[in-house]
Chain A
């Protein structure tokens, strides 16, 4: 176990330069070739947000303000980090499969593939987060001290979903079934996490407690702490504790999967 952790850490340090190059090229590859190119990075989430806003505000007449903010602002504060989480859940699972040639043709540390995929998704999401800040400013809410927490939640989010990528990427490389499983669970996860509603206000204590173990809920709440609720991260200690429990869990799973499957993956891909 310790050996495996050391190995993974060593690979990341030794290939740190390539990691960022690969992340960059991954983004370029994703958006090059389309006529609007980079615009898609913004258009796609904008359409999604519009659909949810329309369904809830216009369709379901959910027009009341959330904690003194318009529903639209409350929505984007939580849904923007979700876009990263959604992408990295799926892209992480696909990562090793989609970079087959790095596994089979070149000597390259497989454990760093999910990392640069995650970096690539995060860089795109950081642009979107910047757009959120601008929208809040346009709506008359200037940045305050709470915005200093953005890097905290950014790192928390990145850490969990990158480690997830290693776990899911290894398993998906072994079997496509696992990839299909992930792809079909992700949309459900969206509705089961507190993105379209406030998980803290659920009245049934058991459901609330379980939901607060969900890293997606924790991160979405975190971003709303910054933009809406105006709270510091140490004020939601239960969620912080839960986050680290979940991180430890996924970390152990990822190390286990990597150690167990590392030798097999070049043979089965």
Chain B
């Protein structure tokens, strides 16, 4: 490896194997067959890249694109399934905010503990301790067990340790959004100072394009375990934003099509005697064809909506043959034979002499299939 290179990935793949349960996982240790049958998820797909010493790189990508897996591998807490990873320099990593504390130890003990695990001498840790304590701003809690900390305090202590142990490679995963505004500002300043002041290699995972542009010169965009773009930060951010936009639009379109399809399916089935599936707020209701066959179904009873006296409904879109029937005792009936799939607005109205319950409106969705209801 070139002396100038801090991080190098060569043909790195990572496959997660998912088992149905714990038992299967234990069996997979002994039987290859069980392992072969399990679900495989490719988290990283043929990753190749190099990061030079002193470079600041931002990783952009949606959730599940493989960013965190990649960072874990640089840190050395996860291994690639195949391929080669070379890392040159002391890595200090902030992964998933609460960064590896022993919950039984106090904050101060954890500082020493972590220092030792990183191979530092006790006097070195003692030298850095005041700076860490001051930076973390957790006051009296410094000498309390970490298990009593709030998640914000843990993250602050984690951040304080990691930026103050004089790292050569600093890895930050979403951690710049820790705590309140003033602490965030302090973190940002400290990271900036580290990047500007020394020859530190910096890798940042973030969803915020602004943060990325603030710290990094280079940006890598990941999608579904692949690196799809690697260039200067501004074009990377631009590329990422465009990707997100087009993906969102495509997703919206897919969802719209799916709903249209469902409606069409239900229309085709309408007029026949069919089961109906209703959703009112969180209440799910199934109307069986044999139950309402030939009679007017009393929805109020079915929904157990005793506070309401009656209701009317208006359709969000005009539906053929939808009628409101009024029973002799004042309850509105509901004839499922004439109702088709779609979204309805259902108005609940109080009794005439009861002024306390104001009319209110509920969306009622009618489906033609049970699967749609359960979705």
Partners in one complex: yes
Q: Cα distance A18–B79 when bound, in Å?
A: 23
Within 8 Å of chain B (Cβ to Cβ): is A48? Answer: no
Q: Are B100 and A106 in contact (CB under 8 A)?
A: yes
B78 touches A266 (CB 8 A): yes
Q: Does B105 contact A (CB under 8 A)?
A: yes
Nearest CB on B from A120, distance (A): 14
* Closest chain A CB from B352 CB (angstroms): 63
Q: From residue A268, how far is it (CB to closest CB) to chain B in Å? A: 7
Contact A176-B81, Cβ < 8 Å, known A21-B116, A25-B105, A267-B16: no
Given known contacts A101-B101, A102-B100, A267-B16, A176 and B79 CB-to-CB distance under 8 angstroms: no
Interface presence of A6 (CB below 8 A): no
A180 closest partner in B (C-beta)? B22
B1-34 CB mask vs A (1 if < 8 Å, else 0) is 0000000000000001100001101100100000
The smallest beta-carbon distance between A266 and chain B, in angstroms, is 5
Per-residue interface assignment for chain A, residues 173 to 213, with 1 indicating a CB less than 8 Å from any chain B CB and 0 otherwise: 01111100000000000000000000000000000000000
Q: Judging by beta carbons under 8 Å apart, are B29 and A106 in contact?
A: no
Q: How far is the CA of A21 from the CA of B120 in the complex (A)?
A: 13
Q: Total interface residues on A, using CB and 8 Å? A: 30
Take A171-B29, A175-B26 as given contacts and tell me if A262 and B104 are in contact as well, using a CB distance cutoff of 8 Å. no
Is B113 interfacial (CB-CB < 8 Å)?
Answer: yes
A175 touches B117 (CB 8 A): no
A107-B75, A107-B76, A178-B26 known; A32+B104 contact, CB < 8 A:
yes
CA distance A266 to B69 in the complex (A): 11
Inside 8 A of B267's CB, which chain A residues have their CB? none
Q: Interface residues of B toward A: which range?
A: 20 to 34
Could you tell me the distance in whole angstroms from the C-beta of B175 to the nearest C-beta in chain A? Answer: 13
Kindly state the separation between the CA atoms of A4 and B102 in the bound complex, as whole angstroms.
28
Q: Mark B94-114, 1 if CB is under 8 A from A, else 0.
A: 011001111011000100011
- Complex Cα distance, B30 from A175, in Å, reads 12
Complex interface residues of chain A between 1 and 49 (CB less than 8 A to chain B):
17-18, 21, 25, 29, 32-33
Contact A106 B114 (CB under 8 A): yes
- Residue A133 interfacial (CB < 8 Å): no
Distance A264 CA – B101 CA, assembled complex (angstroms): 22
Cβ contact within 8 Å between A175 and B22: yes
Q: Tell me, yes or no, whether B91 is within 8 Å of chain A by CB.
A: yes
CA distance A108 to B77 in the complex (A): 8
Which residues of chain B come closer than 8 Å to A102, judged between CB atoms? 100, 117
A242 to chain B, nearest CB (A): 26
Partner of B102, one of A101, A174, A175, A176: A101
Judge if A263 is at the interface, Cβ distance under 8 Å.
Answer: yes
A interface, CB within 8 angstroms of B: 17-18, 21, 25, 29, 32-33, 101-108, 171, 174-178, 257, 260-264, 266-268
The 4 nearest A-B residue pairs measured at CB:
A105-B100, A175-B26, A107-B76, A263-B79
